[in-house]
Structure 1
């Protein structure tokens, strides 16, 4: 019989099977070979962009992977309606340790209609970390609005990605990850751009929580470790970029600080320019301003970011860092440590993250359909508090579903066994009625009649018969 204890044991086994070791950052001597590469999304569709628009492969909503060489241009075809805002992002992830030139090596992204008209502004993510190779990303959009004249009709469009670079940089091919998202249309009027002075630009003090929680940064957007408001600690290796994500709702803003400790080794007294970087990206992987890189001399150093509050009307602002704060959802933090930091931190450095989500969450603008990634749910908040990655949160949800299903199956079995027992007892009682004679009334050698068993009085009842589920139950 399935008991409550058995069910809970089953849940415990499921939880044990799902347990994932939580390992802190590596503490071995850092080298380019040890630095993890950007992890592409599981299940992403492989696609090969074409150098010609006429041969451009069709791009569907979702994640895609490709690769791009220096000087190469790639075209992708998309069909757009006349009502939906479409976002196209690209992440270029050169191998850690690859040679790159600041501002010289970059991507150019644009959306064009069939007449070659560019929809909105181009995006030009580039490196500015002192020659460090790290993942760069940004997005472009085809936006529908009364303030727009170009690209408002339904029809064929193209995403165009170009890689620019100097000959002094490495010839390596860069892996590309492309994300195509549609934002639900609004139901009702469009919110206006926030007025001047509606929010403060003065950066507040960072959080000073006494307790530091363990964070686990990922290699990119897909395995970013979740963080909630508070102070977090992690480890980072020279040449590495670690990704984190935090849910930010409508009306809220981020106040962030990524910090290196003082160096305890006397190995070096060098001045390292642009050694610690902090970048912020919105839920559609659009850059919220440029990364903040700071220098290091052996004393504590901090890279900081303070964003505008999330508001639908920010998309009408001409300032890029404000414009990107246009929807709620998971915001991503990318922390980079230059390879030259090996002089101070040969085994990697302790990293402190001070994460503050300021402001009270407000109601959204009123999407006509499910907001999807452009929203913050209670489950998102719980995931952030637990410090889980998206994969861990999904696995946890699946296990709970399996556990509840197991409980439900146990209940069904118990009910079925109870019903069978009741039927069996009633059958036995019927066989023992007054007309059955003394033997049927419980005389020596009598047995209750089981379902399917013959009632012939000449048939010998089997010995040691016990109640149990019918055959095939």
Structure 2
């Protein structure tokens, strides 16, 4: 069973790096030589070329269309977005290094949104390429969330800024990026909006993973990007990945429900340990409907079976303040995107590594001793409509589950220039 994205359209641009773009191809499959499959962008993604200065950056329009560009080490690129005076806005970037490449320890991307006068619309978001285990696709958004006292509240021409880190010690090639801009209604997140989560801010929820499905799994082929992520529900799903690959799966999470996922990686294709232990050799990641980062879990791999698990806060937790990546990332009800990755350094072979993905979506469980499992299926998706407007139903709350708020490894973009030069 596979979920298929709709064709994307948009403005037409140019780039000199077309051969480096990860464009459409057969999803979730390696070629005949055993080369791991690359990230595949949405069909119809339009080429644009970000500018080095704010003025003249290509216009990104809100809606279902996606755009594609590339970014070099230490490079900053600007794009133009028009914001009205009420809608919340989310502009995302997916950076997808070549499978099998090794990235520098300080390499990654940072995204930010700036008002016409240069005022930052919240803090910038930065993500590393997780080079310890191998280069994985990374994604996050910059946002303008409309609420009382929020910055960047007025309508106008804003600038989306994408910057890449220092590639020293790794692959210095341009990295393809996929861009998308979506909006949410201005009344999203207010008390009483249909589908909202628990009404009291500061409530508690359990981060303990309940008893998970542990069956042999239904065979499935994960997608090669967000647009073709395979749809999964509560249950067990069986796939195979070549070292260096990332597969995408989408699961619907209704308001007030928690997502629990577990990836059970099998033995290396050789049937024994790899030549060496790979730190961060396998990964289970999660992004929301707008491609915002929620969390990432990795563990070491040495060719023997290992398990990686994650548990989220409740989706669309009303009346709270988004603090931390996981709570901020779970502000939507709708599709959530699981990513399963195997390091290019793992296995020592091009043969596929078996993985079983166990999924459960359950009503939010209160924190406390020895919580009982609460299983349940997912309701129909609320976010990511065909018009590109997310139906956000609440802001995330703060609870004792904040103990699970673990971001990616700390790092600083060496090339980040906090003091903006005039016209740059």
TM-score range, shorter chain: 0.7 to 0.9
Measured after TM superposition, the shift of residue 273 of structure 1 is 1.8
Measured after TM superposition, the shift of residue 173 of structure 1 is 0.8
Asked whether 1:93 is paired with 2:96, we answer yes
Measured after TM superposition, the shift of residue 266 of structure 1 is 3.8
Question: 1:54 maps to which residue?
Answer: 55
Secondary structure in structure 2 of the residue aligned to 1:65: strand
Q: 2:303, 2:346 within 8 Å by CA — same for their partners in 1?
A: no
Asked whether 1:273 is paired with 2:279, we answer yes
Question: 1:241 maps to which residue?
Answer: 246
Write the mapping of 1:395-434 to structure 2, written as runs, cut at 5 A.
none
Measured after TM superposition, the shift of residue 333 of structure 1 is 0.7
2 CA distance for matches of 1:205 and 1:163?
40
Question: 1:199 maps to which residue?
Answer: 205
Question: 2:178 maps to which residue?
Answer: 177
Q: Deviations over 1:144-189 (max 9, x none)?
A: 11142x2111111110111112332222111110010011222794
For the pair shown, the structure with the greater C-alpha radius of gyration is 1
Measured after TM superposition, the shift of residue 313 of structure 1 is 3.0
1:144 to 143, 146, 166: 146
Secondary structure in structure 2 of the residue aligned to 1:322: helix
2 CA distance for matches of 1:370 and 1:174?
29
Change (3 A) 1:256 1:143: same
Question: 1:65 maps to which residue?
Answer: 68
Write the mapping of 1:150-165 to structure 2, written as runs, cut at 5 A.
150-165=151-166
- Greater percentage in strand: 2
Measured after TM superposition, the shift of residue 317 of structure 1 is 2.2
2:261 to 256, 261, 266: 256
Question: 2:299 maps to which residue?
Answer: 294
Change (3 A) 1:89 1:170: same
Change (3 A) 1:363 1:215: closer
2 CA distance for matches of 1:232 and 1:95?
26
Question: 2:85 maps to which residue?
Answer: 82
Q: 2:30, 2:36 within 8 Å by CA — same for their partners in 1?
A: no
Q: 2:133, 2:280 within 8 Å by CA — same for their partners in 1?
A: no
Asked whether 1:118 is paired with 2:152, we answer no
Write the mapping of 1:324-473 to structure 2, written as runs, cut at 5 A.
324-343=329-348, 346-359=350-363, 373-374=390-391
Q: 2:302, 2:346 within 8 Å by CA — same for their partners in 1?
A: no
Secondary structure in structure 1 of the residue aligned to 2:318: helix
Query: Considering only aligned residues, what root-mean-square deviation do their CA atoms show, in Å?
Result: 3.1
Secondary structure in structure 2 of the residue aligned to 1:323: helix
- Greater percentage in helix: 1
Change (3 A) 1:178 1:371: closer
2 CA distance for matches of 1:331 and 1:233?
19
Q: Structure 2: give runs of 5+ residues left out of the alignment.
A: 1-25, 193-197, 364-375, 394-424
Measured after TM superposition, the shift of residue 68 of structure 1 is 1.1
Q: 1:261, 1:299 within 8 Å by CA — same for their partners in 2?
A: yes
Secondary structure in structure 2 of the residue aligned to 1:340: coil
Q: Deviations over 1:93-118 (max 9, x none)?
A: 1111222023x111111100111110
2 CA distance for matches of 1:84 and 1:24?
35
Q: Structure 2 length as normaliser, TM-score? A: 0.74
2 CA distance for matches of 1:89 and 1:373?
13
Q: 1:67, 1:174 within 8 Å by CA — same for their partners in 2?
A: yes
Q: Structure 1 length as normaliser, TM-score? A: 0.67
> Greater relative contact order: 1 or 2 (C-alpha under 8 angstroms, separation 6 or more)?
2
1 CA distance for matches of 2:183 and 2:42?
18
Q: 1:315, 1:324 within 8 Å by CA — same for their partners in 2?
A: no
